[in-house]
Chain A
Amino acid sequence: MHDPDRPVEVEVVDRVEETPTIYTLHLRFTDPEVAGSYRPRPGQFNMLYLYGVGEVPISIVSDPDFDGPVEHTIRSVGRVTRGMERLQVGDRLGLRGPYGRGWPLEAAEGRDVVIVTGGLGCAPVVSMIRYVLQRRERFGRLTILQGVKHTDDLIWRRQYEAWQRLPNTQVLLAADVGGPNWPYSVGKVTVLFDRAGIDPERSIVMLCGPEIMMKASIDRLLALKVPPEALWLSIERNMQCGVGHCGHCQVGPHFVCQDGPVFHYPALRSWLGVTGF
């Protein structure tokens, strides 16, 4: 029986400093056989292991058909991610995955794709945005709605500006607190919905960020007559095993590591926003 708990070795081949507390690691499998069979879907995650410290679940940013290094954007928040912050090119990590259910790629084909993100929760949807852009003809209009607390929190600002210039692509940004160099909207991400011109019949919506933001956004989207079946969201919980055993990630009946992290909204509706789940 294969051991689902044991990682394989990866090497850091590139490290990008996104902000003082956010960094991106590009990881290469040292065993070519493992690299050849590794096929993540946008929205899935890996368990990354820092030697002697522990494991953390981190969403995968890179494209499923990209043979190069696996890309992870990480925010230093805890013991493991603060330790990983100091990694340099050539350092080794452990990796297990990919795990969980990703974004609904098949259901999204032929439809307008609306991405709603808030805070720093954008990493799980970046892989989806890139997936659409790599296969542009298979999707309708791409709309990206991003809300941040402070203008400084917007990582990948150049990336957003580049996406904004693409045809049939709309990028709307909002910050709770604006600033002198902030040309975009001020307020919560929900202020963007009226301007986005979402076609409720043609759209599939993918949300990622703080749950309170996603709940407010979903309420807005439902008011705009977007059907609940067109809504998908990615959530986070404490995860220690990634394979449905350790019990920490449960939300009601769901194991987020297996039934999620991307959920169809109707499956999560009764649990979203209930304190304690």
Chain B
Amino acid sequence: MKERDTIINYFRTKIIDSYPVEADWNVPSDEIFNAAKVHFPKKKKRRFGLFFLLSLGLAIAIAWMVIASNYVQDNLTDKQEIIITNNELSQNASVQDEIQKSAINDNPVIPPIEKNNKSQIISSNQDKKEINHQDLRSKQKEKKTGSSIIPLPSEDQSIRKKVSKSSQASERSSNIDKQQLSSKTSITQSSYSAQNPIISAPLDKIDKKSVTEQSMPLQGLSLAKLAPIRFSQLTQNEMKIKQQPFISPRKMHKWEVGLTTAPLMIMPFNISAVEEEDHERAEIKLRYFNINGYITRRFNKRLSVTTGVMFSDFDGKLAFTASELYSEELGVEDVKDYVDNNIGFGSLTINDKSTKFEVELNQGVALQVGDSLIVDGRIEANGSVYQIPLFFNYHIQKKRFDWVLHAGASFDILDISIPTLDFKVYMDDELITQPVNFPGIRERYTDFSIYAGGGVKYDLGKNLKAGAIARFDITDLFFSRIDVGLYYGF
């Protein structure tokens, strides 16, 4: 024991117990640290830069669409005002003068209608009367339902007076060639009568007084100015185009619930794949199930907010086989490197939880450089993920299609486990490694994800829509997917 007291204690004192003074000989070069640093734990990058760029792009796209849609809406609104209310027109004296001038000069503007066309349009006065009676009935019907034109504010007397004057002008214009004009007006009855009782009524039956009281002259006024020119020049199709502002948009539901599933995950690798190279084979099998329940609150035509619950469950199996040479000098991966590169230095990590395992060679196994080894590994992983999302949606409604762009985040509750791991090395068909003692690893933790994406919903009926929406998880592509399902609006 004396020797222990001398040699061992001496070395312990000199090497272990005394704090070493740093010198050239006992300080490793920085290259070692820099080379190792690459493998150190990294800060979880949320890819804010990418998210920022995507958000910026999305914001610009939305802004552009809002501006563009407002521009279109403004134009449509202007036209509507001219046709329906025409406030500005009635208040603008100069415009009225122009109207009167145009009314006076209406006659030469109206091109003569060819006899053939005339006969095609209305075969007889009797027919015309019948049509006019139908128009009147539809006019009365619309009056009852209140779905006709927007009336002028009743308190605006000044407007009414001006409107009266304007209606005189319209009468003058209508006297020019009543037959021609009424014939032309009849062309419009099929398309315009539903919306515009003034147009649907024959001009010779329009009662100036009653029209004034009903604030209708604006319609007549519009006709007075526009009819001689437009009715003679517009084709039926053009008139239909003009009708568009009168079409009421599809009903927008304030609330919408949805039930979707994701048959497809958008992942950086295939769900089930077999990769084979010269000396290795890897197989990934993934069973994936997803179901989502959403509820959406629509604020206006364009914007809505969605929340709900998204649930995903998956079981994955990774199996790989590789034949390697036991060598570093030859530049071929050896067993250690294989473990290092594929499994992670004998440890598996989920979130911040890490479990170590070792791949030990059997006793007496002496590997020689150049030995051919077969490495066989299998890992299983299971996971359940609950997500509570908050998405902000931007809608573009085109006929029956509701195009949706969304961005948002979700609060995630994850339960991930790796229950089994097997790693074997064979040399000449003989197992040379000891069984891996892997206790398993399970981690429950919370996280959050940032989503962006888009898709489309299609109106199946009054309340029902079917939709497919791609949701890209910017923080972790694994949770990206395409939701397909049904939505019910109320």
Q: Say if A and B assemble together.
A: no
Residues of B within 8 A of A (CB): none
